[in-house]
A and B are shown apart, each in its own frame.
Chain A
Amino acid sequence: MDRTKLGKSVLTFVLVVGAVVSTAVDWNATHLFNPAWHPHARFHDALFLALLDGMSLVVLWLLWRRSKEPGVGVTVAALFAAAVWTPFFYIEALIPGTSLLAADNVPMLKVGGMNFAPNLVIAAVLFLLAAIGYGLARDARTDARKDA
């Protein structure tokens, strides 16, 4: 398997796992069907999941379609993953009254003696993998320039 295909496979993993995990984690009584949430808040969660799943499918198509500009799909896939997963690191600081945790009793992950929200760790791993995938597949961009 060449570098480009490996990189595209890593990006595919990030897109698929990101969509599946987000949907599975939110599709329950702690999020989407939480009776304590305002109906419009639940609407926004559903909207986020629909957008994430739909956009992930579009980006997967863009990544693997036959094209004279294969680098576009690689770049879009990496930027899309970054756009989805980096807000986990700053939303709490940016928007007052928001929280990474759905409840007070969510078990934290102890990493190197420090506590981390599990979703923050997932976001970090997927962002890191997206960067690795982009780094591996960026030859696709170079190939496109050569073709031009």
Chain B
Amino acid sequence: MRSGRLARFSGGLPGLLIILLPAAAQAHPGGSDTSLITGLMHPVFGLDHLLAMVSVGVVSAQLGGINIWRVPLAFVGAMAVGGALGILQAAALDVELGIALSVAVLGIGIVLAHPRMSPWPITALVLLFGACHGHAHGREITVSANPALYTLGFLIGTSALHLLGVLIGAAARMQAALWTGLRLAGGAVAASGAAFLLQALG
């Protein structure tokens, strides 16, 4: 009964997400002078960021227990550090490649993750990916933007996407059909990541 209600409740989430997405979602659409709002919307309106960040939440819920907090917090923490480096325009390896890789790896993570597996490999990868996403957000700050508000904005936006992923993952844990569906969705995310990778390499 409980799982059924949750399943019905969360079944509309992907649809709502689609409604809230712009018709033509594309990464890094540029900035504005409203620092916090720009930062807040930046992760949501970049498809690569969006998929990676929702996937972090899904994987953390699949792992369960304290990982529901630990994995997203690792991503957000690393993102804050990466964001600061990006704002300072510090040199980094190919961040776009890292972002594309994050979508592919986290998609595979959704396919493979289960409560009995060790959380540490995925946590380590999430730290790396969080830094990449943060650097990309930070270096795209506009001259007129307030760095602190912009950073606060993209950290909150990222947290919201993690939360959405946690809700999806938690719903899937309660019903076998959803769990299977989630793994298929993970495969689709991994395929999207592969496409982003080809784009980044090409």
User: Which residues of A are in contact with B by a Cβ distance under 8 Å?
Assistant: 1, 3, 6, 10, 13, 17, 20-21, 24-25, 105-107, 109-113, 118-119, 121-122, 124-125, 128-129, 132, 135-136, 139
Contacts and interface: CB of A to CB of B under 8 A. Distances in A.
A111 B22 contact: yes
Interface in B3-37: 5-6, 9-10, 16, 19-23, 32-34, 36-37
Interface string B161-200: 0010011001000000000000000000000000000000
A111 B21 contact: yes
A24 B149 contact: yes
* 5 A-B pairs with least C-beta separation: A107-B32, A118-B37, A24-B36, A135-B9, A110-B22
B160 A111 contact: no
Interface of B: 2, 5-6, 9-10, 16, 19-23, 32-34, 36-38, 40-41, 64-65, 68, 149, 152, 156, 159-160, 163, 166-167, 170
Most buried by A among B2, B37, B38, B65: B37
Given A122-B40, A135-B9, A139-B2, A6 B22 contact: no
Contacts of A118: 34, 37, 40-41
A47 to B, nearest CB: 21
Given A1-B170, A129-B163, 7 more contacts: A6-B170, A13-B163, A24-B149, A107-B34, A110-B22, A111-B22, A135-B5
Given A128-B16, A132-B167, A17 B160 contact: yes
B37 A1 contact: no
B34 A106 contact: yes
A1 B170 CA distance: 8
Contacts of B9: 132, 135-136
Per DSSP, chain A at the interface is helix
Contacts of A24: 36, 149, 152
A14 to B, nearest CB: 10
Most buried by B among A24, A118, A125: A24
Contact of A10 (B23, B37, B167): B167
Contacts of A121: 20
